[in-house]
Amino acid sequence: MPSADHVDDAIAESHLTLEKRIRRRAHQLYLARGEKPGHDLDDWLQAEREILGESPKDSAENRATVIGSAASPGIVL
């Protein structure tokens, strides 16, 4: 059985790989838009949706749930 440290290292490496993929895709979206500044957050969120397989609707619902949970602990909107 792998040690807890080994599992933590594997999770950290997986997270870094995922972040690199999202960063790369966000940069591709930026380039495809003609390198116009001011849409970095939109590009990042779009890249996350594409990489993680969420639809824009799912992403909006998840944010609303997280925001609602943070505003009213124990109550999910």
Q: How far apart are CA 15 and CA 6, in angstroms?
A: 14
Q: How far apart are CA 61 and CA 38, in angstroms?
A: 24
Please list the helix, strand and coil fractions of the chain in percent, rounded to the nearest 5, in that order: 75, 0, 25
Q: Specify the pLDDT at position 65.
A: 45
Q: Specify the pLDDT at position 16.
A: 83
Domain boundaries, the chain: 4-71
Residue 63 identity (one-letter amino acid): R
Q: Which of 56, 42, 52, 46 is nearest to 25 (CA)?
A: 46
Q: How far apart are CA 5 and CA 10, in angstroms?
A: 9
More confident residue, 27 or 16: 27
Position 6 pLDDT exceeds 90:
no
pTM passes above 0.75: no
Residue 70 confidence class, pLDDT cut points 50, 70, 90: very low
Residue 36 identity (one-letter amino acid): K
